[in-house]
Amino acid sequence: MKNGNDSDPEKFLWQSFDYPCDTALPGMKFGRNTVTGLEWYLSSWKSTDDPSKGNFTYRLDPSGFPQLILRSGSAVTFRSGPWNGLRFSGFPEIRSNPVYKYAFVLNEEEMYYTYELLNSSVITRLVLSPNGYVQRFTWIDRTRGWILYSSAQKDDCDSYALCGAYGSCNINHSPKCTCMKGFVPKFPNEWSMVDWSNGCVRSTPLDCHKGEGFVKYSGVKLPDTRNSWFNESMSLKECASMCLGNCSCTAYANSDIRNGGSGCLLWFGDLIDIREFAENGQELYVRMAASELGKVKHYLEGGEANERHEHLELPLFDLAALLSATNNFSSDNKLGEGGFGPVYKGILQEGQEIAIKRLSKNSRQGLNEFKNEVESIAKLQHRNLVKLLGCCIHGNERMLIYEFMPNKSLDFFIFDQMRSVVLDWPKRFVIINGVARGLLYLHQDSRLRVIHRDLKAENVLLDSEMSPKISDFGLARSFGGNETEANTTRVAGTLGYMSPEYATEGLYSTKSDVFSFGVLVLEIVTGKRNRGFFHPDHGYNLLGHAWTLYMEGRSLELIDPSMGDTYNLSEVLRTINMGLLCVQRFPSDRPSMHSVVLMLGSEGAVPQPKEPCFFTERNVLEANPFPGEHMLFSGNETSITLLEAR
């Protein structure tokens, strides 16, 4: 309804979009006008055939830092978490896509969430159902009906405060609820009977004395923000100092995670409704008593930043704890050795298994690579990337602490005639898909666009389910800074996996990783290494051999015999085709990892590859583009680094 004398196209006397009832359509606002008091929220029907007001409401709560809260009557049953610049922290699945555009507006006059359609052919609606589920539906013309596209509540961990105060929920763990580090169940008997509602309490109470600091948690849904305060212009360092300066402050985080993070969000009182995500969770810094920081501590303590460590924003492990965990780094605990130095298995006091990479004093892949790995992977969270738990800096000691991978690395199985039988085709295909998704996250979906630069079988670790996790980010590079995305005067990588433009000209991009991925795919299919491959009929490496058989229509001869008849014929042939596309001579001819993931997940036609680059280590050594520089070789699989002459 509009005043006919009013020429303002945005001004209405009344519009249905201001009263959404149980349904939000694209373009509707979801929040409130702080000037007029008008509130836009969802209210459920009483039942599917009774449109009178039901028990549930879903509205933007303005207390503290705004968040969407679902209530049954007055009781909170679910919350979205606060908006972090990209998504609500409780919705890690929300990301940029070609269908929906999400936005959150917070200013002096309005605060609201809205979504728009980028594809006008899509028909969609967001509905609060009579039984209290927030669901998005899309219309399918073919069936003339609505299908469920997504639901805000995904599992039990989305039940509000399931684990109580200072409890954390992980749907993949049993039991789902655990107390945060430095906390114990408030009522142990009830906790053991799977009643977690009373949560956890501190082992050591805060006393606001000097020496208190923070423990960093990564990959979480931020706690309930109704008892919070925020400032959008402060830095994370300023945020930490402000929290330490207020005895009531219990935690802090960035309010906006875009562009490396900005803004300050402080919590006062108990931390409630925390859950852990496999990917796209946030970082939370929880205040701890000084005595609780002995084993795992944050880089900022007592209000004073140690300048030498201030950029290493992840937990620091105490050397004594690592010595105890590894039996003084005994040879029995040694897992192997790479370019960085030896790797040890350790068991912390609480029973957690860890892997420790210890910087060798003789390693030329030294402090710079150590810092780079910390800065690169500390900001990354994905199920197909190995999780960095923390680091240790003590005197000349430099160590990285990772989650322990019980099945070692991919090369341990794939290139061994006896052990390779463990990896049938379904397992190999899962590994290929997992590595592809990990690279896609690095190239496109992470906060920093990262080029790994040393993807190889040795750097793909396998967990207890044989799922892959990309590791070793010592040579990784993020876009930006003085080094462009396409050129460097410091070449580093592994012979057999390096793209031709990178090895001979120092040019690198995401397509350099695509080349390495293609080599890895062909190695997984064949069970043979690219470097050192020998065939009596020709002098080609594995890539040349694969191309020859492909052109002759004999690609099946590439398949590793140890897989037996476990493979799907069309699937393995498509994978070989895709692998050859990834190792094309020119970067522009290689697909992006986004296209690779689509090819792996569909049955459509795969583009025909051109002749790939038959690259050998002799090519690399003879094509050194940086005269006066020397090469480094380290580890079991030869790695090469060209150091800038000085």
Specify the pTM. Answer: 0.54
CA distance to 115, 196, 641, per residue, from 189 (Å)? 46, 10, 57
560 in catalytic set:
no
Average pLDDT of adjacent 10-residue blocks, the chain of 646 residues: 62 63 90 90 93 94 94 96 94 81 91 90 92 91 86 92 96 90 93 93 88 90 96 94 93 92 95 92 92 55 37 70 91 82 88 86 58 67 88 81 92 92 95 96 81 92 94 68 46 79 82 95 95 78 93 94 91 95 94 93 86 57 39 40 32
Distance of alpha carbon 129 from alpha carbon 47, whole angstroms: 8
Return the pLDDT at 232. Answer: 93
Tell me which residue of 215, 381, 231 sits closest to 284, measured CA to CA: 215
- What totals of helices (H) and strands (E) does the chain contain, helices first? 12, 38
Return the pLDDT at 199. Answer: 96
Distance of alpha carbon 492 from alpha carbon 495, whole angstroms: 10
Return the pLDDT at 592. Answer: 94
Identify the helix (H) or strand (E) that includes residue 523.
helix 510-526
Return the pLDDT at 645. Answer: 30
Catalytic residue among 61, 224, 256, 454: 454
Return the pLDDT at 453. Answer: 87
Structural domains in the chain?
16-154 (2.90.10), 163-307 (no CATH), 319-403 (3.30.200.20), 410-642 (1.10.510.10)
Tokens 């359509």 label which residue? 25
Whether 267 contacts 225, CB under 8 Å? yes
Return the pLDDT at 475. Answer: 66
Q: How many residues does the chain have?
A: 646
Question: What contacts 351, CB < 8 A, 6 or more positions away?
Answer: none
**What own/partner pairs with CB < 8 Å and gap ≥ 24 does 240-245 have?**
240/214, 240/285, 240/300, 241/303, 242/266, 243/214, 243/285, 243/287, 244/212, 244/213, 244/287, 244/300, 244/302, 244/303, 245/303
Return the pLDDT at 363. Answer: 55
Return the pLDDT at 314. Answer: 63
Q: Residue 300 forms beta bridges with which residues? A: 305
Q: Residue 641 forms beta bridges with which residues? A: 492, 632
Whether 170 contacts 276, CB under 8 Å? yes
Return the pLDDT at 233. Answer: 93
